[in-house]
Structure 1
């Protein structure tokens, strides 16, 4: 069975963020991920992880002015120094939290600019980040994101991401394969798992139901089947990573809503999927 990590930016919204660690552990999660840790001191987050027997498996590097609409800096010429300073901060948190993966958001294509013009900046920035991260055993992840949720995002497709990873040329630069985004942009999800997971270049999966980004058993994707595909391919190629549960509970912030919606996970653990 795949290993699942709770995304604390989305799950357990009825709780304050720091209380979500305990909620996730109560539901049997052994690992967590989230968007950003930077509003909290590393020692406070590390203490929550230790107290609840959890591993930190992923978070994002600072994305620029998130509240102002920015979604990363890696592709933006002229922001290289800011990108490096932000990534250095991410590595400090990764070290404190023993986190082996950091996602670098690509950023938005500016109006009037062709995507191809941004590629050299993106490749150079991610290559630099991967070399810095390698010093402490951290992978740098690239995530294709659908253009419905984030219009004008630089990176949208699995083939584009793997092509860029090849150009970057660092062994710790890998793809964050979010099956929700993949289904919206491309479809043919099972075959893409079979194509890309054996390459060793998939560092992490994420899941959510399509189209509303609720629990994975809500919507058009057959996760029962997709989990079996991941199991099969993982056993053949030796992949032992995590699947992040990055979805919005259908019950919203209703007390106990996230836990009530975990029947899909209980069935997976019971082997009834």
Structure 2
């Protein structure tokens, strides 16, 4: 049966941060993920997870100014020391929170003449982070993000992800596959899932266009979820979308998705 996690950075934002955990549990989620948890003390997060019986699936290494139009940390040659500090911060949180995986965002390159250097730096930093988190028994993932919504993003295709994964070749490194982002890039997500599921550690989704909940765009989630349910994938599926109304109303897809996966099995 498919297992869904709620991304608390985008969902249930009607609630104060520490109240979102209980709200997710009440909606039927057994797990959550957070984009960047560092604004909250790690002990508070640990208590919120434990008191609600929730598993933390995923969070990201800090990406500096990425969400505000900047280049981020992981690929900027001049920011390698800052990236290592961010990895140390992430490791401190991970030791207590024990996520399934930690995501490293490659970030942007705003000067196309430096793209090769930025990509080399990202691969170097990704190797470093993977080794650090492997020592904690935690997987590392990276993802492709569409360069329509986020121009200049360094890794924006499935093919790039596969090439980087093959080059680094670490048993604790896998793909975070985002159905919304790859659909936005015009890729055939169903075909990729059917072919490369063994390389995927975590899946995220939102409908496209619009990045709303399933049923608000053009993606055939019935086939997508059925494909995943029939596969060997045992990870979580992260609901990472912007609700088109309120969060509670946006969860109408959840019961149908659960029934679909149960019927497949």
Instruction: Please tell me the TM-score bracket, short chain as reference.
Output: over 0.9
Q: Secondary structure at the match of 2:140?
A: strand
Q: CA RMSD in A?
A: 1.5
User: What is the deviation of 1:108?
Assistant: 0.7
Unaligned runs of 5+ in 1: 252-256
Separation (CA, whole Å) in 1 of partners of 2:67 and 2:116: 27
Q: Which residue of 2 aligns with 1:6?
A: 6
Structure 2 unmatched ranges of 5 or more? none
Out of 68-77 and 184-193, give the one that drifted further: 68-77
Q: Is residue 2:150 matched to residue 1:156?
A: no
1:67, distance to aligned residue in structure 2 (A): 6.2
SS of residue paired to 1:206: strand
Shift of 1:66: 4.5
Alpha-carbon separation, structure 2, partners of 1:189 and 1:44: 37
Contact kept in structure 1, 2:71 and 2:110, CA below 8 Å: no
Q: Could you give the per-residue CA deviations for residues 52-86 of structure 1, whole angstroms, max 9, x where no partner exists?
A: 11000001111013565335311111211111110
Q: 1:147 Cα deviation (Å)?
A: 0.9
- Verify the 8 A CA contact 2:143 2:177 in the aligned structure 1: yes
1:19 aligns with 19
- 1:204 equivalenced with 2:202 (yes/no): yes
Alignment correspondent of 2:257? 268
Q: 1:28-107 maps to which residues of 2 (within 5 A)?
A: 28-66=28-66, 68-70=68-70, 72-107=72-107
The answer on whether the counterparts of 1:140 and 1:174 sit within 8 Å (CA) in structure 2 is yes
Q: Which has the larger helix fraction? A: 2
TM-score by structure 1 length? 0.92
1:21-62 CA-to-partner distances (Å, cap 9, x unmatched) read: 111000000000011110111110010001111000001111
Q: Give the match for residue 259 of structure 1.
A: 248
Counterpart secondary structure, 1:113: helix
Which residue, 215, 227, 234 being the options, matches 1:240?
A: 234
CA distance in 1, matches of 2:71, 2:105: 6
Alignment CA distance shift 1:67-1:186 (3 Å): closer
Give the drift of 1:216.
Answer: 1.3
Q: In structure 2, how many angstroms separate the alpha carbons of the residues matched to 1:174 and 1:33? A: 17
Of 237, 244, 252, which residue of structure 2 is paired with 1:250? 244
The answer on whether the counterparts of 1:94 and 1:100 sit within 8 Å (CA) in structure 2 is no
Q: Which range is displaced more, 184-193 or 69-78?
A: 69-78
- Tell me, in whole angstroms, the C-alpha distance in 2 between the residues paired with 1:189 and 1:66: 25
For 1:186 and 1:107, the matched residues in 2 are separated by 20
